[in-house]
Amino acid sequence: DIQMTQSPSTLSASVGDRVTITCRTSQSISKWLAWYQQKPGKAPKVLIYESSTLESAVPSRFSGSGSGTEFTLTISSLQPDDSATYYCQQYNAYNPTFGGGTKVEIK
């Protein structure tokens, strides 16, 4: 299985801050990476797929980049509604695997 290393595991930032989350894979997955947001008591919601394509209706402050083994999710200006846990997921090959998650807290 492809191993996913996501960092940091938690971060605390202020409204308006630029926030970056990193996901590294144990082998190259080309562009086949998705990012999800999950809030307490809710199902995950896809934000980005194919590393950098924004899902429809997702605010443009979210962006994704990377290819191969290193990927980033950036929130350009953190908003109170962005308090959540974020996961990366590779879908280059079975089994699809998720990163351990990053909990984003608002200071």
Binding residues for another protein, rule: CB under 8 A, are: 1, 30, 32, 34, 36, 38, 43-46, 49-50, 55, 87, 89, 91-101
Output 20 or 44, the one with its CB closest to another protein.
44
Between CA 82 and CA 15 the distance in angstroms is 9
Count the neighbouring beta carbons within 10 Å of the beta carbon of residue 9: 11
Output 19 or 87, the one with its CB closest to another protein.
87
Least CB distance to another protein at residue 27 (A):
13
CA dihedral 101, 85, 65, 106 (to 10 degrees): -130
Output 60 or 95, the one with its CB closest to another protein.
95
Specify the pairing of strand 102-106 against strand 10-13. parallel
Least CB distance to another protein at residue 16 (A):
28
Kindly list the distances between the CA atom of residue 87 and the CA atoms of 4, 37, 62, in Å, as whole numbers in the listed order: 10, 7, 14
Q: Is 82 in a helix, a strand, or coil?
A: helix
Least CB distance to another protein at residue 15 (A):
26
Least CB distance to another protein at residue 12 (A):
19
Output 35 or 82, the one with its CB closest to another protein.
35
